[in-house]
Chains A and B, each alone.
Chain A
Amino acid sequence: MKRVLTLILATAMILAVSGCSNSTPAPSATSSSAGASKPAGTAESSAASSSAPTWKPDKPIDFICQSSAGGGSDLMARTIGSIMNTKGIIDQPFVVQNLTGSGGVQAFNYTQKQAGNPYVMQTVNSAFFVAPITGNIDKNYKDYTTLAVIGTDPNVLCAPADSPYNTIEDVVEAAKADPKGLSICIGNAGSSGSACSIIFEGAAGIEMTQVPFEGGGDGLTAVMGSQVDFSWQNIGEVVGPVESGLMKVIAIAAEERSDAFPDVPTFKELGYDVVYEVPRGIVGPPDMPPEAVAFYTDALEKLNTTDEWQKNYIEANFIFPRFAVGNEALQIFDEFYNDTYNIFDKIGLAVH
Chain B
Amino acid sequence: MDKFLIGVQAACSLSSLFFIAVGVVAGILGGAMPGINASITTALLLPFTYRMGPTQALMLLVGVYIGVQYGGSIPAILIGTPGTPSAGATLLDGYPLRQQGKAGTALYTALSASTIGNLISGIVLILVALPVAKMALSFGPAEYFSLGVLGLTLIAGLTEKNVVKGILAGALGLFLSTIGIDQFLGMPRFAFGSLDLAQGIDLVPAMMGLFAMGMMLQDFFKPVHLDSVNEKIKLTPLSGKEFKQILPTSAFSGLLGTVIGALPGAGAAIASYIAYNQVKQFSKHPEKFGTGCIEGIAASEASNNGVTGGALIPMLGLGIPGSGTTAVILSALVIHGVRPGPNLFISQPEIPYGIFIAVFIGTFFMFVFGLLYTRMFVKIVMLPQPLLNAAIIAIVLTGAYAVDRDIFNLYLVLGLGVISFILRQFKVPITPMVLGMVLGEIVEASMRRALAISLGDWSTFFTRPISAGLMILALVMLVWTLYRSYRTPKTKKTEEAAVASTASN
Contact = CB atoms under 8 A, between A and B. Distances in A.
Interface of A: 3, 6-7, 9-11, 13-15, 17-18, 21-22, 24, 68-71, 74-75, 78-79, 81-82, 86, 96-103, 105-106, 109, 134, 136, 180-181, 183, 188-190, 209-214, 216-218, 220-222, 224-228, 236-237, 239-241, 243-246, 308, 312, 316-317, 349
A7 B56 CA distance: 12
Contact of B452 (A11, A86, A209): A209
A125 to B, nearest CB: 15
B318 interface: yes
B47 A70 contact: no
Given A102-B195, A183-B452, A244-B343, A11 B141 contact: no
Interface string B314-349: 100011111011111011001101011111100000
A245 B341 CA distance: 9
Contacts of A213: 449
Nearest to A238: B319
A14 B188 CA distance: 34
B47 A222 contact: no
A5 to B, nearest CB: 10
Residue among A212, A217, A226, A246 facing the most chain B CB atoms (10 A cut-off): A217
A69 B334 CA distance: 15
A316 B452 contact: no
Given A69-B43, A78-B47, A236-B334, A11 B22 contact: yes
B48 interface: yes
A70 B320 contact: no
B265 interface: yes
Given A14-B30, A317-B334, A101 B199 contact: yes
A70 B39 contact: yes
A221 B39 contact: no
A74 B445 CA distance: 25
A10 B306 CA distance: 26
A240 B321 CA distance: 12
Given A134-B186, A213-B449, A243 B341 contact: yes
A9 B47 CA distance: 12
A210 B195 CA distance: 27
A13 to B, nearest CB: 6
Given A18-B33, A236-B334, A244 B342 contact: yes
B270 to A, nearest CB: 15
Contacts of B46: 78
Contacts of A214: 183, 445
Given A18-B399, A240-B339, A6 B321 contact: no
Contacts of B455: 180-181, 209
A105 B325 CA distance: 23
Contact of B36 (A17, A98, A136): A17
B91 to A, nearest CB: 21
Interface in B449-493: 449, 452-453, 455
A225 B138 CA distance: 6
Interface in B178-212: 180-186, 188, 195, 198-200, 202
A21 B402 contact: yes
A316 B449 CA distance: 32
Contacts, number: 216
A139 B154 CA distance: 45
A76 to B, nearest CB: 10
A41 B401 CA distance: 31
A188 B185 CA distance: 9
A21 B50 CA distance: 24
A227 B263 CA distance: 14
Contact of A243 (B40, B326, B343): B343
Given A97-B405, A218-B265, A14 B184 contact: no
Given A14-B41, A68-B39, A81-B47, A22 B401 contact: yes
A213 B198 CA distance: 19
B400 to A, nearest CB: 10
A199 B503 CA distance: 54
A225 B140 contact: yes
B386 to A, nearest CB: 22
B52 interface: yes
Contacts of B181: 102-103, 136
B428 interface: no
A241 B341 contact: yes
A211 B449 contact: yes
Nearest to A134: B186
Contact of A237 (B52, B140, B319): B319
Contacts of B52: 3
B405 A99 contact: yes
Contacts of A181: 455
A241 B318 contact: yes
Nearest to A344: B186
Contacts of A70: 39, 42-43, 321, 324-328, 330-331
Contacts of B339: 239-240, 243-244
B104 interface: no
Contacts of B246: none
Given A13-B44, A105-B199, 20 more contacts: A10-B26, A11-B26, A21-B401, A24-B405, A69-B327, A75-B331, A82-B50, A100-B404, A106-B199, A180-B455, A221-B136, A225-B136, A225-B138, A227-B140, A241-B341, A244-B341, A244-B342, A246-B318, A316-B335, A316-B337
Contact of B402 (A18, A101, A222): A18
Contacts of A316: 334-335, 337
A212 B343 contact: no
Contact of B40 (A9, A17, A109, A218): A17
23 contacts: A11-B29, A14-B41, A18-B399, A68-B324, A69-B324, A69-B328, A70-B43, A96-B43, A106-B195, A183-B452, A189-B184, A189-B186, A217-B320, A218-B264, A218-B265, A221-B139, A224-B137, A225-B139, A240-B344, A241-B318, A243-B339, A245-B342, A246-B318
Nearest to B46: A78
Given A10-B45, A240-B340, A105 B327 contact: no
B274 to A, nearest CB: 20
Contact of B398 (A22, A79, A96, A349): A22
A81 B45 CA distance: 13
A18 B139 CA distance: 38
Nearest to B322: A217
Nearest to A102: B199
B307 to A, nearest CB: 15
Nearest to B449: A211
Contacts of A99: 404-406
A222 B404 contact: no
A212 B186 CA distance: 10
A221 B265 contact: yes
B51 interface: yes
Contacts of B30: 14, 17
Given A102-B199, A225-B138, A217 B321 contact: yes
Contact of B22 (A7, A82, A100, A189): A7
A346 B320 CA distance: 34
Nearest to B41: A14
Contact of A220 (B186, B319, B328): B319
A71 B327 contact: yes
A6 B44 CA distance: 12
B25 interface: yes
Given A13-B44, A312-B50, A98 B186 contact: no
B327 A240 contact: no
A311 to B, nearest CB: 8
